Structure 1
Amino acid sequence: MSRRPLVLLPPSKGKADDGDGPVYGDVVAADTGPLGEARRRLLAAVVGDLDDLDDAALARVAGVGGAKVAQARALLAGLPGAPTLPAHLRYTGVVHGNAGLADITPRRAGAEVIVVSALAGLAAMGDAVPDYRLEFAATLPSLGGIAGWWREQAADELARRCRGRRVWDLLPAEHARIWTTEARSRVRGLVTVGFVRPDGRAANAARTKVCKGRLTAALLAAPDLDAPGLVTDVDPGDQWVLRLDGDDVLALCHV
């Protein structure tokens, strides 16, 4: 495996404001890549469906409380004209901050990072991303469930990007729905990192964020790490212990 390893992360609700890059409508209009048409369709669906979403439905789509519905609606309506930032600067959540993504140069980083995004499908760190509020588990009237729609559009492309490299899947269950079983089976170097309690139940999502960020930072700094090396050499942080689980890794939370 000669290519840089790949780390798969979820997005964050926390995002940097504004941006100095081209507006998102121009970005997707000029996108000739394998996901360009899907991104244009998703953007058109989001903007076009807003009038059909009452405040309760909009809150679910955007993942916000009632007090922020008007702000979220304006943000989504303005997406075509919204300025962009590279993804590594846009996402500012706990995972991304602890990973140090804002400090990397995407093309020179030890590992490539892709965020599974409700807006863009797969957002590489250099991709232009606007400020947005859109849930991967949401449903749009004209498109259906966003997760299932992106699975149809992007699973094969994700498998293609994973070819010939070690892939570290740190996705929560919601965003892991980007995979089809068939596409996932084609990825030979896949290492899934599960975050669990000692009894085997999924760990509280909020508690996993610092650990995910620390693991990502370690993989960026030491791209030659394999699963045994990650378990042996990397400190996952307080309250966490790493162990092998076959070819995969389990992060055990002791709280």
Structure 2
Amino acid sequence: MLILLPPSEGKTPADAGTPVDLSTLSFPALTQARQDVASALAQVSAQDDALDQLGVGATLVHEVSRNTRLAHEPAAPAHSIYTGVLFDALGYHSLSKPQQRKADAAVLVISGLWGAVAFADSIPAYRLSMSVKLPGLGKLASFWKPHLTAAVAPHAQGHLLVDCRSSSYAAAWVPDPTRTVAINVFTERHGVRKVVSHFAKHTRGELARHLITRPGKAPQTPAQLAGAAGEKWVVELVEGTARKAHALNIILPG
């Protein structure tokens, strides 16, 4: 089982530590692409219109400035850098050591800067969304798609993929749909369903935690995943096709 997560928008910078060493990150075949994105990001972040190009507000000027010196910023494991609703709900630092090792092996974060990183990969804080278009590279989701297909798909072969990514990050890599289950979250009241945002992130983080902490073998099929999620929530499994991933709908009370 692999759990695919989007990065958090905000990051928690490391207080200290050595800078990122790209050669130590998972999927070394992505090294050149990572260098290309980091270089383009640094150039854009140094420009007067950097905030507009990166689609962020003036309150994030310090984070954008950090993009110009990522090669020298202290790095820390991705599970410490990525914070926010989903990652708080996953609660890596409250897991037992065996559970943390399980998370390190199971979780992949799809990133606009790094392409894909494992939870234990050491990276600096940065500001870059997958929806951004960088000069010379174009839209990041389109840029990363062939790279991730070549580098990550072989690693994912044979695994059940629990896809908790948001749409822009899901566009950067489309794994084997027969082995992929997209996680959707709805509220339901009086028979009426609504898509939720904040609670969806929280619930996906809770699901990741549940899959990591529950005893027994990890789910290996969509049906087994639905059974595991059904231990905590009302769920329904929508069967996929040869071209469309399965969907697991988690239904929260309205």
TM-score normalised by the chain length of structure 1: 0.81
How much has 1:122 moved relative to structure 2? 0.3
Seen in structure 2, the aligned counterparts of structure 1 residues 231 and 55 have a Cα distance that, compared at 3 Å, is closer
- Deviates most, 190-199 or 119-128: 190-199
CA distance in 2, matches of 1:52, 1:201: 44
Alignment of 1:131 with 2:121, yes or no, is no
Seen in structure 2, the aligned counterparts of structure 1 residues 202 and 135 have a Cα distance that, compared at 3 Å, is farther
How much has 1:43 moved relative to structure 2? 0.9
The correspondence for 1:214, drawn from 181, 206, 212, is 206
Alignment of 1:18 with 2:32, yes or no, is no
Q: 2:243 maps to which residue?
A: none
Backbone CA RMSD of aligned residues: 2.6
Indicate conservation of the 8 Å contact 2:109/2:117, yes or no: yes
Indicate conservation of the 8 Å contact 1:55/1:66, yes or no: no
Matches within 5 A, 1:45-194: 45-52=40-47, 54-60=49-55, 64-69=56-61, 71-104=62-95, 108-109=101-102, 112-180=106-174, 184-185=175-176, 188-194=178-184
Indicate conservation of the 8 Å contact 2:5/2:108, yes or no: yes
How much has 1:130 moved relative to structure 2? 0.5
Q: 2:30 maps to which residue?
A: 35
| Structure 1 residue ranges without an equivalent (≥5) | none
Query: Which amino acid is 2:225 matched to?
Result: A
Identity among equivalent positions (%) equals: 25
Indicate conservation of the 8 Å contact 2:14/2:81, yes or no: no
TM-score normalised by the chain length of structure 2: 0.82
Count of residues in Structure 1 that have an aligned counterpart in Structure 2: 236
Deviations 1:149-190 (A, max 9, x none): 11122123222121122211111111101224xxx23x6432
The correspondence for 2:3, drawn from 4, 7, 10, is 7
CA distance in 2, matches of 1:56, 1:204: 28
CA distance in 2, matches of 1:136, 1:228: 29
Seen in structure 2, the aligned counterparts of structure 1 residues 145 and 227 have a Cα distance that, compared at 3 Å, is same
CA distance in 2, matches of 1:155, 1:202: 33
Seen in structure 2, the aligned counterparts of structure 1 residues 53 and 252 have a Cα distance that, compared at 3 Å, is farther
